[in-house]
Structure 1
């Protein structure tokens, strides 16, 4: 081939610009559509059919199946979406992503691509550079920039391929049969990591007369199979559900692709007769849509069985650690990550309350027939295990919070993250306050002195009642304008306890160390103060975030 007749670097630049444009478009949409996507996901994926329709619609609008995949994985990990409905969304996303080929076929080859790309690029770059502090305008600029790069890359690929339209001898490939075109489609898509870019290359080759409709259809099938490599690479080292979803994508695309491959001539001929399309480019994108729609029709009735089969895989990749939600959610999706983080704080809250209750009630060590020595030796070990689990949760959540801070957060999300960090910190402080005196509380249970028994009873009853109040407050749907003054109430109660204790000492001295009693009272009050501070930070953060949003 005459090297001067084909500008390889122009073709490579065009491919790069198209893929980079898709990447910028995806970044902008992720920032702008996160909450809308989450709300839609929660509302419109109640069953598998609605999940398929939602996946198709949202992918067609967002123009990024990889973005939809990332969101689905995040919601799957956060427990918002079941594996079955996640499969449904992914099936729909395969159909929705064909919208890219429709845009390219109807606009990219019918209009001046340069005239489309330059306004997008000009306005997009200016917005991105001069409105960096205005997040919404900056993201709009990034969105326009992404579209502009996509169209300009399309033009570069199209014009460079047209130069070799009459130079390339496809008979060498055709001599190996249809299977050769299938392999080319798979390999090239796997290498460039973009089925959308591959579809553009195929359409460009068809527009230049390099390949026919049937050959283009086979390349499209190969591109659909090759794109599973991208998802597979993304799942490497991921969680079990992430790998299961990648396997689901692989099995669906390969099975559908091979099924259509063996009947490709019949399907193309049927499409041409049924829709009477004369434009081969439109015919090809029509085939692409029918191909993916056929796959959904074939797979849809078997989704429940498909889900059960997938759950048998990758058990060894189940996320490790004490957290239940954040380990399955990427910090790259801040809106979803924050919701998972809030669920994790609820877990810490429940564990902290459980730990405090066990300290006062003795937990397993209070079983009838257990000797006093076994109580002393056995229960603290279990309590320390509980405390260390809380600390382990804190470590995992803190690492996640740090990773989340690296993302581009809105003021609203930053405020929410800060409040959750404070809630976590004060919850752990509360557990530590009680942990530091739990051995003293154990000793007080076995004392026979009337004053020590009285102090123990007052502290225990007050603590249990206080925990009930906090739990009821956590259940409130409408947050009061002003947070309760629990810390002030605790301070008053502390003074009453101390006054009662010293009044008791005037009547009857005790052998139990007074300093220990003072310390226990102080630590219990401090623990309750930290606990209520955590609830206030957490419960009132939603009201503060709403005010900021206004």
Structure 2
């Protein structure tokens, strides 16, 4: 290999690297710009299958990867958020959404002014200035998208330039002739390349780069493209390892859908090429690859959409339950819900984490009810329940904190970073609420051991305090759940009432102690209970404050 050949190889590798990096940077910028709109799409998952197709196409167009979308779907199914019927629609839509990248790649054939070498440097320049000097987060995100576009096109230019000197080389003509004549080899080649680089968008981009230089014929391009659609299933199949049976079925549906489509279109195109060999051996352009890629994926979806139920049934025959598989899925529902596959789309991961934080809050509220009942009734049995629930809440904190750290390491916009930070603090506050509940249960045990009974007045005052604190905690959980400023204001009002009530009840109890209406032992338990209840109200106020900061 000569120095020139080595230089061209490096140029191609560098171009491919820039193409992949640009596509990733563009997708990150688009995700940040989409922000909460991506979270709102989560609600559409409960709609009909046609909505799933639209949703799958939309998400894939944003994140620029059908593999990532399907991996996320596997995560949703594994977490129990989505059933297989809903998954089928999104998987079908993802194949349509991935065609966006091929149209971006083929832009250079649309006209002279759309050639990458013409406008890509300007995109990078403008995008870099916006990213570095604009203070507005939206403008920064727009800059990231422009830089991604620019680098992607510059990468394409590098790849094309590295291939141009060899477009008349016999090896290319021979290779594509062989792949074209043998559909199995063409499909296998497309699947293998895509499986290795884990991106159908990138492998289609490489094929289109070769087509730009006029060295790819129709029959080889068609079969390779069909193979690329099968190869993109590899990522989801790998991702489903260790998931439950249903999640594995989702990956199986992806493989079935793409394989059945490839077989049907492969047979049709093989017959067309046999009838028209001149057309089969003619060169294909980058735009024509985009057209076929789009027609294939849209037609395949229309063709197989009515048979979605059959795909689900077929996947159940492919994936069987095993003893090992059952053991793999023994983790808690929360651990399954916070599936790492969903991190592929941070907005959805944030939505899931938020829901689990709310669930943690509800567990803390349940612990509050049990602890306060134990305190009033001197119940050892209820105090033991508090300890068990406290252990569960501690587990909540550990798992949620770990997951939020992973989310925080993803590409987030400023609003999402603030939300994740506040979720960290909220988790900590709910855990502290549960700690105070444990303190209350310990006081309940002390009351039972020492046969301490509150006076009628003291018991009535304690019930009033408990009711007010519970109101603050419940409103805080509702506020975190998205109920709005009315719930935040309700927490503030309850907190003010708790502070005034605590001060008033302390004074009354000290008066009872002074007049010997209450024993010192009773007094210590009563005052410590008041202190713990007041601290729980403070934590509720903190949680509401985080929600207010986000509005």
TM tier, shorter chain? 0.7 to 0.9
Written as runs of structure 1 = structure 2, the 5 A alignment for 1:92-103 is 92-103=93-104
1:218 Cα shift?
0.6
Change (3 A) 1:24 1:316: farther
Q: List per-residue Cα deviations over 1:70-127 (Å, max 9, x = no partner).
A: 6656766787755533431221120221233234335347544311322223323333
User: What is the 5 A alignment of 1:112-261?
Assistant: 112-131=115-134, 134-169=136-171, 170-171=173-174, 174=178, 177-235=182-240, 243-261=248-266
Deviates more, 1:292-301 or 1:496-505: 496-505
Q: Which stretch of structure 1 is more off in the superposition, 222-231 or 302-311?
A: 302-311
> How far did 1:485 drift?
4.2
Task: Tell me which residue corresponds to 1:421.
Answer: 424
TM-fit CA distance, 1:449: 6.9
In structure 2, which of residues 401, 420, 424 is the aligned counterpart of residue 398 of structure 1?
401
Q: Is 226-235 or 448-457 further displaced after alignment?
A: 448-457
* Alpha-carbon shift at residue 283 of structure 1 (Å): 4.1
Say if 2:164 and 2:213, in contact at 8 Å, map to a contact too: yes
Q: Structure 1 residue 520 and structure 2 residue 519: aligned?
A: no
How far residue 509 of structure 1 moved from its aligned partner, in angstroms, is 6.6
Superposed, which structure 2 residues align to 1:431-470 within 5 Å? 431-442=434-445, 444=447, 451-452=454-455, 455-456=458-459, 458-460=461-463, 462-464=465-467, 466-468=469-471, 470=473
CA apart distance, 1:217: 0.5
1:321-332 equivalences under 5 Å are 321=332, 323=334, 327-328=338-339, 330=342
In the TM superposition, residue 463 of structure 1 has moved relative to its aligned partner by 1.6
Partners of 1:319 and 1:327 within 8 A in 2: no
**Correspondence for 1:384:** 387
- 1-side partners of 2:478 and 2:343: how far apart? 28
Q: Could you tell me whether the CA contact under 8 Å between 1:426 and 1:530 is conserved in 2?
A: no
Distance in 1, matches of 2:302 and 2:326, equals 29
Offset, 1:167:
2.0
More deviation in 413-422 or 469-478?
A: 469-478
Aligned length: 528
Q: Work out the CA distance in 2 between the residues paired with 1:44 and 1:384.
A: 37
Shift of 1:472: 5.8
Give 2:497's aligned residue.
489
Q: Is the counterpart of residue 29 in structure 1 residue 30 in structure 2?
A: yes
What's the offset of the Cα at 1:389? Answer: 0.8
Alignment match, 1:369: none
Q: Give the alignment of 1:58-137 within 5 angstroms.
A: 58-60=59-61, 63-66=64-67, 68-69=69-70, 82-108=83-109, 111=112, 112-131=115-134, 134-137=136-139
Cα separation, 1, equivalents of 2:66 and 2:367: 45
What's the counterpart of residue 479 of structure 1?
A: 485
| Higher mean C-alpha deviation, range 427-436 or range 229-238 | 229-238
Mapped partners of 2:426, 2:205: distance in 1: 50
Q: What is the alpha-carbon root mean square deviation over aligned residues?
A: 4.0
- 159 and 410 in structure 1: CA distance in 2 versus 1, 3 angstrom threshold: closer
Deviation at 1:183, TM superposition (A): 1.6
SS in 1 for 2:168: coil
Q: CA deviation at 1:177?
A: 2.5
Cα distance in 1 between the residues matched to 2:457 and 2:276: 87
Change (3 A) 1:294 1:318: farther
- In terms of mean alpha carbon deviation, does 230-239 or 256-265 score higher? 230-239
Question: What's the offset of the Cα at 1:140?
Answer: 2.3
Asked whether the equivalents of residues 362 and 379 of structure 1 are also in contact (C-alpha less than 8 Å), the reply is yes
Structure 1, unaligned stretches of length 5 or more?
367-371
Q: CA deviation at 1:456?
A: 4.3
Q: Is the 8 A contact 1:322 1:389 kept in 2?
A: no
SS of equivalent to 1:114: helix
Q: Quick one: structure 1 residues 495 and 47, their matched pair in 2 at CA, closer, same or farther if it must change by over 3 Å?
A: same
Moved more, 92-101 or 135-144: 135-144
Secondary structure at the counterpart of residue 152 of structure 1: helix
Counterparts of 1:502 and 1:38, CA distance in 2: 53
**Worse-superposed segment, 315-324 or 18-27:** 315-324
Q: Distance in 2 between matches of 1:43 and 1:75?
A: 13
TM-score (norm 2): 0.80
